[in-house]
Chain A
Amino acid sequence: MSQVQMHEPQPDFIIRSRASLEDEHLQEALEKAGSGFVHKRQAAIDRIGNFEQLRDQAQRVRARALKNLDLYLLHFEKKVTEAGGQVHWAETPEQMRELVIGLCQKQNAKTATKGKSMVGEEVDLNEALEAAGVAPQETDLGEYVLQLAHERPSHIVAPALHKTKAQVQRLFRDNHALGERALDEVADIVNEARAVIRDRFLQADVGITGANMLIAETGTAAIVTNEGNGDLTATLPRTHIVTTSIDKIVPTWEDASAILRVLGRSATGQDITTYTSFFTGARSDQDKDGPEQFHIVLLDNRRSELLGSEYEKMLHCIRCGACMNHCPVYQSVGGHTYNSVYPGPMGAVLTPLLRHEEQDNQLPNASTFCGRCESVCPVRIPLPGLMRKLRDREQRERKHAGMAQWAVKLFCKLSRHPAVYRRLNDFNLRLVAIARGRKPRFQSLPFLSGWTRHRDFPAPEKSSFQSQWQQRQKEKQP
């Protein structure tokens, strides 16, 4: 099977960042999204008195789930089977694509409605379905917009965050037979999508959703949505396929509650999303509706290798997106710049661990280590710490030392000889003082154009702290 690539992005994060910083539409969209998520999250937390305890509990549940993951997965599988469903296991993205396509073809499916699934994105499911003659129909408004635009999500919760209203209007004008229908207000856009997608829900042969959680106790897949699209996707077609990954397990329904209580609050600042739906197996004789077939396809894709490793905590992630909403790097360059379905701080850790591509080594470096991601993570993943480990690993594995490494080595040597260091530093500062003249800031500097292209560099003092100290001590003496 061929893996269809939508476009071949620039392999260098820094070059992509530059393009993103100069992309007016993207900057406008980021500006508008801006601090909305941050404020809503804070307000939701302030409404209850014990969010920190809820975080602790969610963290405990995630750790507990991973501690006996094999038992929980097998119990989950047993319960799914007892409820008339089937569990399939995929080690690689390729296997997952083959499994899903096989299930669709068995049903002679021509169309598949889709709820949002980041695992589906991780394995490039849409392209594979299309190539196999099954038309994937995204139903989440953001995902639908991106399908029209032939683009990838740029955020794990708000996939079309990078699109402005004007861009969506243009996409709809180009793709819908609008006639007299208006498209001025957000409500018009939503209504237009609702009308177009409604028929697809009713016609689709197969419905494919992701899962926010898998409950081992009863073999239940849970999804949270606000639009109601995932729920219709899971309920109306004859076959419901869930594409998800092995780490989504929680042991019991009470454990699911512990996750739900931090998920909505952290993601969109909602105490709970409008819809939370729990699917167990295929419809029985007692059920008033539901699919006749229920399949869960579990993806590993190197997750099992992270268990027990120093990166295990990354598997605690519940995909709320709070880390990217609070990340100054993500907020400046947007999600596409990460060239991965998982952007922002969680993506900067997860992408190199799952994908193992040379270019991914740059991602853990795309951080200022300000620490906001860790401070807002509902399950307290030490994201900067994990990024630091990945940076360290990259340095150790690197065969050729770059200029930055030589500079660090030189600095290490010099700092062990304070007298030499001080003299060199004083000399440097004198040079800088001459170059600076009366200007308080530099507008350009050799080797630092990456900084000075976008902002001025503050000029240092004319002499070092130690020199100034000595000077003042001398002046004080009578």
Chain B
Amino acid sequence: MTDSRSRIIDRIARSTGGNFSTDSLEESFKALTVKHTLPPVQPQMEMADPVATFISEAGRNGARVTELESIAQVTPWLRDNTDNTSTSARFHLSPSILTQSLDWDGLTTTTETPTAAQSWGVVQAHTGIAETGTVMSLSDECPSGLLFLVERLVIVIAREDIVAYQEDAWQRLRARNILPRTVNWITGPSRTADIEQQIQIGAHGPREADYLVIDKPR
């Protein structure tokens, strides 16, 4: 199919002029995108306090947001919130949560692939984006599948990791120097409107999404 490739590129070059050398793709790319970067146009909204905007936007998009003082309060919160539903809940933890020394006494934890109906995911987000109340998770910190396979997803996000706009999240991502295989953005619980355009919460992903905003992460 290399012929298809060169024929397609040749046809495109008839319109673009093809003024670059294939030996210096990166330089040509940088010359175009660094020099001629468009100044971003961001949605006009209240952004004096990004954390406040994050909380209100996430709420509007169907996430339940709770503010906690410290990471140590996550497990007591989980205990409080499982009482009403079921005691057979299994908590699937992301590695970043597992390494925190939290008191899991009385809660059943696992790192297996979630299959049971009573599965909760507890993960830590890399970044929160206030613009849309979105959290960003990276597959070298947390398995991407975990975010989608559990019935109820609890996302821990440190206040200091919340940024105003998408561009700020990209900056944080670039600063890592390593781009993981999957970058997931999550905004609320999964949903579908495929049956008569009625919004139904809980499609293939979690039926509920909780964001726990932590004041002091450590």
Contact = CB atoms under 8 A, between A and B. Distances in A.
B128 to A, nearest CB: 13
B59 to A, nearest CB: 13
Contact of A290 (B14, B131, B141, B181): B181
Contact of B195 (A190, A235, A274, A275): A190
B190 interface: yes
Contact of A257 (B45, B61, B166): B166
Interface in A15-32: 29, 32
Given A70-B13, A89-B1, A189-B195, A275 B38 contact: no
A253 B173 contact: yes
A422 interface: no
Contacts of A261: 41-43, 166
A253 B170 contact: yes
A274 B187 contact: yes
Contacts, number: 283
Interface in B141-171: 141-149, 166-167, 170
A277 B182 CA distance: 7
A186 B205 contact: no
A255 B38 contact: yes
A135 interface: no
B200 A187 contact: yes
A278 B9 CA distance: 25
B25 A74 contact: yes
Using C-beta atoms within 8 Å of the partner chain, give the interface range for chain B. Answer: 35 or more
Contact of A252 (B37, B181, B204): B37
B193 interface: yes
A72 interface: yes
Contact of A145 (B13, B40, B141, B194): B194
Given A64-B38, A68-B32, A272-B134, A232 B140 contact: no
8 contacts: A33-B197, A48-B45, A83-B179, A88-B1, A140-B194, A254-B166, A261-B166, A294-B181
Interface of A: 29, 32-33, 36-37, 47-51, 53-54, 56-57, 60-61, 64, 67-75, 78, 83, 88-91, 95, 99, 139-142, 145, 158-161, 163-165, 168, 186-187, 189-191, 194, 197-198, 201-202, 216-218, 220, 226-229, 231-232, 234-236, 246, 251-255, 257-258, 260-261, 268, 270-284, 286-290, 294, 298, 300, 304-305, 307-308, 312
Interface of B: 1, 4-5, 7-9, 11-16, 18, 20, 22, 25-26, 28-29, 32-33, 36-38, 40-45, 57, 61-62, 94-95, 113, 115, 131-132, 134, 139-149, 166-167, 170, 173, 178-198, 200, 202-206
